[in-house]
Amino acid sequence: MKRKDAVCQELKRLTLSLKRETLTDTIGFNAETIGFNLGLARNSVSKELNQLCAERLVIKIKSRPVLFLHRAVTEQLLDTTLSSQSLLEVKTLAELLPVNEPASTACDDPFHALIGYDRSLKLAVEKGKAAVLYPGGLHVLLTGPSGVGKTFFAEIMHQFASQQQRSTVPLIYFNCAEYSHNPELLSSHLFGHKQGAFTGASESKRGLIEQADGGFLLLDEVHRLPYEGQEKLFSILDKGEYRPLGSSEKACSIGVRLICATTESPDSTLLRTFLRRIQVAITIPALRERSLEEQVEIIIGFIQLESRKIDRTIRLDKGLLLYLLEKPLAGNIGQLKSDIQFLCAQAWASGMGNPLQNPMLVLDKRLTESHVSASASSRLLVDGLFGQNEFIDINSLPFAQLKQHLIALSSEQDSDLFYTYLTREYVNLRNSNVPPQETLSILRNKLRTIFEYGLYSQNTGGSDERYYGGQIEQRITLLTGCIEQVLGFPLPQNMVSHLRKHFLALLSYVQKGLIPNLYSNSLILDYCKDEYDNATKLCQKINEIFHIQCPTTEIVYLCLFLKECRSFRQRKDVNPDCGVMLIGHGSTTASSMANYVNRVLECELFTAIDMPFEQSVHDTLELLISEVREKRYQRLVLIVDIGSLVHFASTVNKLFHIEVLLIQNITLASLLEIGLDLTYETSEFAQLMSLMKSKGIPYHLCNQHEEETGKVLVISCITGMGTAVKIKKVLEDSFDTLMSEDTRLIVVDYNEVRSMERLRVAIGGNERLVGIVGTFQPGLPDIPFISLEELFSEQGPELVFSLLTPDLSNADRQLEMERSAMRFISALTLESIINHISVLNPQRILQEMEGVLHVICRNLDIHPTRQVTLRFLIHCCCMVERIVLSHKPLQIALGVHQDLDQQVFSVIKQAFSPIEQAYSIRLSDAEYFYIYELLYR
């Protein structure tokens, strides 16, 4: 391919990356950018571009520097065809457009007038719109330091509301500081007054609230409003009503929305009863808290306003822009605007604005009163904006492409974290007068973390990567091959992608002269010093391939990179039979930590189980058991944070008969250490425990040889110890066969249960608390609790069962559950029957009714729930005694029931036949019908 064709193809690729809305007067690509991408000299590329322009294949924009666009692509973007007579050498792209076709269309959304509406102010804008659009509107509190633009934001909200209603709504401004020491005058000003309301009130007067009806009342400096004044607004905030001063008539309805603005902390200056009536709180950030891109937009926007005012182009010096970006601004945007106006006034007064001497107003460093050191990030952004120029010209025409250009510059700077960090941190440390040796020490401590974060935490997918083509890509590929030759193995794709981004950033920084000369042997970390010779040779290769003077700082990076590649190659795959699971309190705690470490290690090592606040310990244990059962682990490394989760290890050990290595009180740092040991060292427990011990990470091994610890279930009721004793007896009768010799049920006073320290007195040193059954939740973290409502519900027996025997196998668990549940129902039924039956023997009638139910269930093949079983037994026992005492059954006309199953009815009658004979009674059809309903409805 000829050189001219390569230049044309590269310009076409670059122009295709643009969008119609970014095609404005001063956008395009210079010869230096194209030459850099293709690896060609700038003057050679410039010669080819001028030839292509003469051939009418490209558009030439005569700015400084000269910019070019591919003609065919530009015509597609503008949806127009340039005539054959059109000159393709123009000062601005607008010259090529038809007169009736603007280059861009203005947006109708008033909020788009806010710089940062889609970035730092995005949440504020969303809240502001919501407050306006909600039917009837919502009251708003604007907070933020002085000068951030709270009043301007309120005016934008007013414009948005007027636009939505298609009519101008009122906006009334009131500064609360004016009447802060005169409550009566304040009331008169806000609410108005009637004639004669006070001395001097010769006529009635409308208040500001009435004037703002249907719109907004802006209360600036609302923190200066006295408490009495805040309380007087309650009727408006609550009911939308007010009463003028001196009026005894019915309160007037009003439709006004308050916008309150304050520079103070609302919690310390406003009544809580006032604050809770304000539905929307919006915080406007300070100027220096906003991004550098937004600060540049604001500065240029103010300069454009001055340019429009004086009808003169303003030339802005690079050094002055850096000064405005770094100068302390206690007054934020308001102070910035005043400072820019004063700078323009100084330039005008000194004769710089004399149209005969200079048609431009020049703002340069001569106007600054002091020197301010620019940060690396500011210099990078401003250098990218100015290019090779020392100034930019600003007039009243909008900089339509400024925002996109600044965002693009910002993302380009952050593409390689290694050099972004070095330049920014080094300049900050040196400006802070930190001694050189201490600077190196600080950088050394942070370098590995920054390197690993840049290598693993950024998205290295190729879908959104910019492709440069030509010689530069070939040279990067050649250099990557040299690195693979040094390593002795091919690099994985993610490493290749990261390396490519790094070299592109290196070239860009070298070209701009931004890499600090801070190389020192002490910066090379001890663990990778053995790569020094290889890194030095590769730096020489970089010099040869790219024809640059490679900074010695690159040796530090290459030492880290080569060592990491070798470590990556030596990784040991964890045995699939060994599970590694992390459980943590919180909705995302465990998953966030596991995802981070998995991403750093580039393997799915950790499986996470989150335990949200509303999730019980039992449910969390079930999730763990289900995971271990599904994966069929033969060993398990169980990592937990705090609380009773530590007992999960022994449960899993007993249930699955596998070794469980428990690591508790986990932090992100120790989790990363464990991950590195499992990945690079070993997954054998003996060696792993030795590593844990050497690093001071506590652990505990649960195996079959571990001694048993006793279990304690506490029963406590706020109604008194008597109730708790009865519940204890019911549980012992129901679950006695399941409880081992080391399991105890104890009754504890409710006041003692609320403190873990007091509970420990009742629990032995070798025992652990498995749960509490009681009236109210005692509030002890991680201690399973069963309320009385849950205990007597359908799931009651299963909940108790899970506390006492969590380590039974599935088959044994199901069998024992059925037996225990039936005993539990019998025990509860007997307790209830004793309270209701006074003549018959409670135990005998209960056994007989259980036999009746068994016959019915067997013959009809039904399986009633525990609740139905409980109701059946209590109802039937009480029914028999009632008939025995009254000598007659229930007699009620039933009518005709079409859906009554006669066969079922007959089975129920036959089942009760022995009861009728034993007690010499006769059951009526009404009695049988209620029993039928109880079982089937």
CB neighbours of residue 521 within 10 Å: 10
CB 926 within 8 A of CB 889: yes
Which among 638, 664, 621 has a CA at the least distance from the CA of 808? 621
How far from each other are the two terminal CA atoms of the chain, in whole angstroms? 86
Structure tokens at 573: 């795959």
Beta bridge pairs of residue 609: 583
Structure tokens at 477: 């590929």
Rounded-to-integer distance, Cα 712 and Cα 707, Å? 16
Which among 394, 384, 224 has a CA at the least distance from the CA of 308? 394
CA distances from 450 to 276, 425, 503, 519 (A): 44, 11, 17, 17
Q: Where are the beta strands (DSSP E) in 178-309?
A: 192-193, 205-206, 216-220, 241-242, 252-253, 257-262, 280-283
CA distances from 908 to 29, 350, 659, 875, 925 (A): 93, 112, 54, 15, 11
CB neighbours of residue 357 within 10 Å: 8
Helices marked H in 350-435 = 376-386, 402-413, 417-431
Would you please indicate which residues are annotated as catalytic (active-site) residues?
585
Task: Report residue 611: phi and psi, to 5°.
Answer: -125, 85
DSSP string for residues in 271-293:
-HHHHTT--EEEEPPPGGGS-HH
In whole angstroms, what separates CA 351 from the centre of its chain? 54
CB 120 within 8 A of CB 92: no
What is the Cα Rg of the chain in Å? 40
Helix or strand (DSSP H, E) at 639: strand 635-640
Helix or strand (DSSP H, E) at 712: strand 710-716
Contacts of 188 (CB under 8 A, 6+ apart): 197, 198, 201, 205, 207, 245
Contacts of 100 (CB under 8 A, 6+ apart): none
Contacts of 841 (CB under 8 A, 6+ apart): none
CB 193 within 8 A of CB 201: yes
